[in-house]
């Protein structure tokens, strides 16, 4: 995989045109042509190998040395272009403060101290108003170094402000470290699936080590970090019933007492997404969509436009909510559109599995099969990227769609593969995935004899399938598999049963 090509592919059509013009402005005519030629080849629909690129760039005599120098030059163009675009699109970005610092340093060197100090004060004001504490620390250090100038501020005032700022910067750094550590350990827990759920001790250990147990969210950015840490624990424990009101209360208290300034836009968007996701997981689908609408307004209204990393997550969650609000056709449209945009590997996997679910709900089994096959990755690769539970969900989906398409032999092969994975990984009884083995035994009966699902007693056995967790806490993908079996035993459409159970988790109400 060519990382430079992958990066360039993330550009929108307008960005591609702007970057092409930027390249031409940076170099002499001949070099500019070569830079542009490599850029065009990297954006080609076909991914060329290094040998093919050498042939096209240097048809008379392939020149590897010149080619790698050309790649380095294109990478420098890309770096300069992104820096320039960031400053143009977001005047509050850290690059603006760095630019002022560079200007001040130059003015001190060439002997213009009054203007240099004026520039440092601008940098201080900009960094302070946008809570860029690390850069603000650099500004104060520059001011202390130049305190001997007659144009300087009082040294005692600078030191006092520097010490206060250092406290905020250290607190945020500790929160960042704790957040990263917990996310790393969460990824390890996901690889182990539900066998790796003992997470509270890890959480408390990290918070204690970084002195964050009693941290008070005085600032939106820190509130977001702390909520991110709490959410990591909730993801493992599936305790969204507790987390949803907690994060909503914290968000609205912050909104009422302090408000969200432009500098807090990223933190505010992150919090809105957390709320919408927690509401989805607690089956409050309409409320989740309302918060997603607030998030979309914020994404569309910012000077920087929509942050690329949040757009796919927003789309996936909106589509998931629509599916449970009888708007599944809109879900399909959203997922098809997002798959036509550049996505990171994890996002690709999430999008394809999600689209497969939406097709399946509509009874479009051939399309479901096509989108699942298009994943094109081995179970081992997917497990390292997404965790064992994602792999189980993928295989279960492939099993059910083959059964619906009238391919019982293929469905049985997939069923055996899932059983083998469960027993090899978690022991003969499936360990934390024992429920999967019980579920598969019932599916096997249907594969062997499709009429088995309608025989007396089968529906009761389906109702008594042991749960991973209380139904209101269970992942909706797991619930959807249960609903397929439930629908078969009742002789009703799968999607209708799914909507009823998702919106009324008391199974006694489903008939």
pLDDT of 329-388, one tens digit each? Answer: 999 999 999 998 888 888 999 999 999 999 999 999 999 999 999 998 888 888 888 888
Which pLDDT score is estimated for 213?
A: 55
Which pLDDT score is estimated for 97?
A: 86
Which pLDDT score is estimated for 196?
A: 44
**Does the structure show a pLDDT above 90 at 479?**
no
**Does the structure show a pLDDT above 60 at 506?**
no
* Ramachandran sector of residue 215 (left: φ over 0; alpha: ψ -120 to 50; beta: rest): beta
> What is the distance between the alpha carbons of residues 507 and 483, in angstroms, rounded to a whole number?
11
Rounded to whole angstroms, what are the CA distances from 464 to 322, 440, 467, 482, 486?
29, 14, 9, 11, 11
Q: Which two tokens stand for residue 400?
A: 């059910």
Q: How far is CA 117 from the centre of its chain?
A: 42
> What is the distance between the alpha carbons of residues 481 and 474, in angstroms, rounded to a whole number?
12
- Mean of per-residue pLDDT scores for the chain: 84
Q: How confident is the model at residue 27 (pLDDT cuts 50, 70, 90)?
A: low
Q: What's the pLDDT tens digit per position in 299-313? A: 887 655 556 678 999
Q: Which residue has the higher pLDDT, 302 or 106?
A: 106
Exposure on the CB side of residue 252, measured as CA atoms within 13 A: 7
Which pLDDT score is estimated for 402?
A: 96
Q: Determine the average pLDDT of the residues in 133-153.
A: 91
Which pLDDT score is estimated for 30?
A: 47
Q: Please state the φ and ψ torsions of residue 349, each to the nearest 5 degrees.
A: -65, -45
Q: Among residues 463, 412, 467, 468, which one has the least CA distance to residue 441? A: 412
- CA angle at 390 for the pair 388 and 396, rounded to the nearest 5°: 105
489 Cβ contact partners less than 8 Å away, ≥ 6 residues apart:
453, 454, 458, 459, 462
Q: Among residues 43, 44, 31, which one has the least CA distance to residue 77? A: 31
pTM of the model: 0.70
Q: Determine the average pLDDT of the residues in 30-35.
A: 67
CB contact at 8 A, 366 and 374 = no
Q: What is the DSSP string of 432-484?
A: GGHHHHHHHHHHHHHHH-GGGGGSTTHHHHHHTPPPSS-TTTS-HHHHHHHHH
**Other CB atoms within 10 Å distance of the CB of residue 164:** 11
Q: How confident is the model at residue 509 (pLDDT cuts 50, 70, 90)?
A: very low
Q: Is 387 exposed, middle or buried (0-12, 13-18, 19+ CB in 10 A)?
A: buried
Q: Which two tokens stand for residue 508?
A: 């006694």
Which pLDDT score is estimated for 195?
A: 44
Which pLDDT score is estimated for 34?
A: 85
* Ramachandran sector of residue 63 (left: φ over 0; alpha: ψ -120 to 50; beta: rest): beta
Q: Which two tokens stand for residue 36?
A: 């542009």
Which pLDDT score is estimated for 192?
A: 59
Q: Determine the average pLDDT of the residues in 67-89.
A: 83
CB contact at 8 A, 307 and 89 = no
Residues 106-144 as b or e (16 or more Cβ within 10 Å = b)? ebbeeeebeebbebbebbbebbbebbbbebbbebbebbe
Q: What is the DSSP string of 372-405?
A: HHTT---HHHHHHHH-HHHHHHHHHHHHHHHHHT
Q: How confident is the model at residue 291 (pLDDT cuts 50, 70, 90)?
A: very high
């Amino acid at each position: 995989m060519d990382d430079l090509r992958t990066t360039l592919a993330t550009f929108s059509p307008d960005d591609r045109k702007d970057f092409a013009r930027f390249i031409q402005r940076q170099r002499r005519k001949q070099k500019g042509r070569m830079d542009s030629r490599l850029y065009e080849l990297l954006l080609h629909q076909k991914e060329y190998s290094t040998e093919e690129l050498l042939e096209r760039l240097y048809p008379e005599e392939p020149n590897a040395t010149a080619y790698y120098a050309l790649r380095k030059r294109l990478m420098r163009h890309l770096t300069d272009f992104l820096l320039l675009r960031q400053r143009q699109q977001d005047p509050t970005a850290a690059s603006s403060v760095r630019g002022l610092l560079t200007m001040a340093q130059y003015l001190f060197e060439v002997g213009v101290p009054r203007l240099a100090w004026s520039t440092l004060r601008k940098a201080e004001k900009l960094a302070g108003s946008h809570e860029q504490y690390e850069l603000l620390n650099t500004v104060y250090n520059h001011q202390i170094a130049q305190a001997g100038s007659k144009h300087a501020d009082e040294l005692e005032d600078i030191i006092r402000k520097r010490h206060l700022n250092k406290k905020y910067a250290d607190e945020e750094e500790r929160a960042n470290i704790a957040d990263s550590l917990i996310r790393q350990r969460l990824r390890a827990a996901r690889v182990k699936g539900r066998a790796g759920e003992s997470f509270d001790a890890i959480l408390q250990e990290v918070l204690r080590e970084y002195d964050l147990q009693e941290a008070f969210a005085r600032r939106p950015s820190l509130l977001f970090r702390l909520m991110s840490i709490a959410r990591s624990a909730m993801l493992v424990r599936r305790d969204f019933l507790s987390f949803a009101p907690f994060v909503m209360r914290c968000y609205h208290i912050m909104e009422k007492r302090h408000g969200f300034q432009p500098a807090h836009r990223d933190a505010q968007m992150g919090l809105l997404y957390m709320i919408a996701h927690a509401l989805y997981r607690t089956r409050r689908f309409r409320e989740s969509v309302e918060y997603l609408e607030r998030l979309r307004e914020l994404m569309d209204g910012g000077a920087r436009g929509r942050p690329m990393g949040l757009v796919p997550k927003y789309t996936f969650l909106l589509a998931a909510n629509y599916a449970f609000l009888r708007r599944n056709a809109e879900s399909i449209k959203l997922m098809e559109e997002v798959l036509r945009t550049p996505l990171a590997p994890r996002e690709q996997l999430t999008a394809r599995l999600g689209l497969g679910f939406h097709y399946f709900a509509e009874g479009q089994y051939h399309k479901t099969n096509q989108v699942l096959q298009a994943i094109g990755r081995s179970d081992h690769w997917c497990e390292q990227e997404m965790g064992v539970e994602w792999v189980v969900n993928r295989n279960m989906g492939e099993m059910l769609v083959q059964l619906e398409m009238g391919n019982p032999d293929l469905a049985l092969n997939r069923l055996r593969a899932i059983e083998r994975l469960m027993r090899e990984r978690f022991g003969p009884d499936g360990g934390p995935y024992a429920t999967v083995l019980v579920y598969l035994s019932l599916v096997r009966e249907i594969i062997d004899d499709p009429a088995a699902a309608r025989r007396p007693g089968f529906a009761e056995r389906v109702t008594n399938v042991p749960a991973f967790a209380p139904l209101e806490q269970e992942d909706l993908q797991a619930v959807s598999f249960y609903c397929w079996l439930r629908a078969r035993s009742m002789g009703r459409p799968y999607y209708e049963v799914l909507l009823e159970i998702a919106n009324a988790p008391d199974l006694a109400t489903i008939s």
